[in-house]
Chain A
Amino acid sequence: MMKADEERQLIERARRGEVEAFMQLVREYEHRIFQLAYHLTRNREDAADLVQETFLQAFRGIKAFRGNSSFHTWLHRITVNLGLNFLKKQRGASNPLGDLDSLEEKGRGGELAEAGGIPSVEDSWLSEGFKTNLQKALEELPPAFRATFSLVVQEGMSHKKAAELLGCSENTVSWRMHEARKMLKRKLQPFLSKK
């Protein structure tokens, strides 16, 4: 773990355009940023692209970094913004009507299972099959809900921290979590009821 003073010095050097100083910061945070990117994209290649883009943007914009938040938070914010853009593009390409209502309608009749993405109900709800379905259900959440769920549940952030990264209020985070959970339950209902 890097000390605060050391980090500050590296940031200063990176501001002056020293690539090696910035690379030391990259090595410090790349794994955590990759995890976040992976939670958002659910794909290694996309996550790697997202991490690379995050660091490129951070390097270009490091002169604008004033230290109001920690460098780690700042990197997280860039990743979340890029991740949301990525998810919106991805969703636009795969599902032009990718809004909440269409997603909910799709989830209601268990059409996810009919589409062939979900294994048979006989599989245990704790089996790999359930995990796969859960991952698929998470992927199909609207981008903002998915990002919020990833930050709060998988990254273990508080509502306050997630709100800071997402640029919204804590109440919005709380509401999104509630709605995301309802959508996930609806999609996974056949497996959950079996239990």
Chain B
Amino acid sequence: MKCEQAQKLISDRLDGKLSRWKETRLARHLTTCELCRDYLKAQEVIQREALKIEKVDCPPEWWQQFEQALQEKLIHSTSEEEAISVLSANVSASIKEDENNNKRGRFWTFKTHARQAASLLVVVVAVTLFLILFIRQDKKEGIPFPLTLSYEDSYFNLSQILADDEEAASNFASSLEETILEETFLAGSEETFVDTEYDYQIYNDIIKPESLQTESINSEEGL
């Protein structure tokens, strides 16, 4: 055992905290180490003298004054605590009031927003109703409302009109044909240009009555 370890055990022994096993080890070390024996002796003197340091006490009058002063401070402390609690209660009440005011303010703000939203909704509903009524009126008159009808609706509406009115259908077909031809010519593309003369010749070639007649003659001649 090293001396440092032995001195630690000496300290524990003076405090009455040394196990029997450690006590045996320490005793063995002390029989061979004079330095640690001296250390033990010195520590026993210090311990004894430290315990001899007189216990200080004060006369009863001093304690009386001490208690009186303490009691006054405690009462003062209690009244301070009460004052603080009253103050904190007031502060918390005012905070609550402020919070309520804030809540009220927020409520009014919210109400304004609600009113604005309601106004907007009314406008939207009014516009929608107006459009619906207007469309219905237009449908009765047979003219579709192009801005509000979908492509399918427009087509369906148009096909109904054309089915009901032959003259209108004929006019529509001719105007459509004119439009297509006009657009084709205006495009000016050779590739897309339709040579009507050529078509006409082919057509005439195919359905040429003379040809048919020739065949029939030939057939007749053959027969």
Whether, in the assembled complex, A89 has its beta carbon less than 8 Å from a beta carbon of chain B, the answer is: no
CB within 8 Å of A: which B65-82 residues: 66-67, 69-71, 73-75, 77-78, 81
Give which listed residue, A31, A51, A149, A195, contacts B57 with CB less than 8 A: A31
Chain B nearest Cβ from A178, distance in angstroms? 4
The answer to whether B49 has its CB under 8 Å from any CB of chain A is yes
Complex CA distance for A34 and B57, rounded to whole angstroms? 8
A125-B45, A188-B46 given; A23·B51 CB < 8 A? no
B8, B50, B67 — most chain A CB neighbours (10 Å):
B50
- Chain B residues with CB under 8 Å of A153's CB are 15, 47, 50-51
**B46's contact among A158, A178, A184, by CB below 8 Å, is which?**
A184
Does B56 contact A30, Cβ atoms closer than 8 Å? no
> Chain A, 51-76, contact with B by CB distance < 8 Å: what is the 0/1 string?
11001100110000000000000000
- A185 engages B67 (CB within 8 Å): no
Task: Give the docked Cα–Cα distance between A66 and B17 (Å).
Answer: 31
The 8 Å CB contact of A30, one of B42, B43, B45, B63, is B63
* CA gap between A24 and B119 in the complex, in Å: 74
Q: Which of A136-167 contact B (CB under 8 A)?
A: 138, 149, 152-154, 158-159
On whether the beta carbons of B39 and A138 are closer than 8 Å, the reply is no
Give the shortest distance, in Å, between A149 (CB) and chain B (any CB): 8
Known: A177-B15, A185-B43, A195-B45. A60 touches B53 (CB 8 A): no
A-binding residues in B (CB < 8 A) = 7-8, 11-12, 14-17, 39, 42-43, 45-47, 49-53, 55-58, 63, 66-67, 69-71, 73-75, 77-78, 81
Q: Is the CB of A56 within 8 A of B53?
A: no
Decide if A181 touches B46 in the complex (CB within 8 Å). yes
CB-based contact A56/B52 at 8 Å? no
A124, B147: Cα distance in complex, Å: 121
Instruction: List B contacts of A30 (CB < 8 A).
Output: 63, 66-67
How far does the alpha carbon of A112 sit from the alpha carbon of B117 in the complex, in Å? 88
Knowing A134-B46, A174-B17 are in contact, say whether A154-B70 is a contact too (CB < 8 A): no
When A47-B56, A59-B77 are in contact, do A52 and B17 touch as well, CB less than 8 Å? Answer: no
B66–A52 CB distance below 8 A = yes
CA distance A175 to B8 in the complex (A): 8
A103: chain B residues at CB < 8 Å are none
A residues 23-50 near B (Cβ < 8 Å) are: 23, 26-27, 30-31, 34-35, 38, 44, 47-48
Identify 25 residue pairs between A and B in the complex whose beta-carbon atoms are under 8 Å apart, listed by A's number. A19-B78, A26-B70, A27-B67, A35-B55, A35-B56, A35-B57, A44-B56, A48-B58, A51-B66, A52-B70, A55-B74, A56-B77, A59-B74, A130-B49, A134-B53, A154-B50, A159-B15, A174-B11, A175-B8, A177-B12, A177-B15, A178-B8, A181-B43, A185-B46, A188-B46
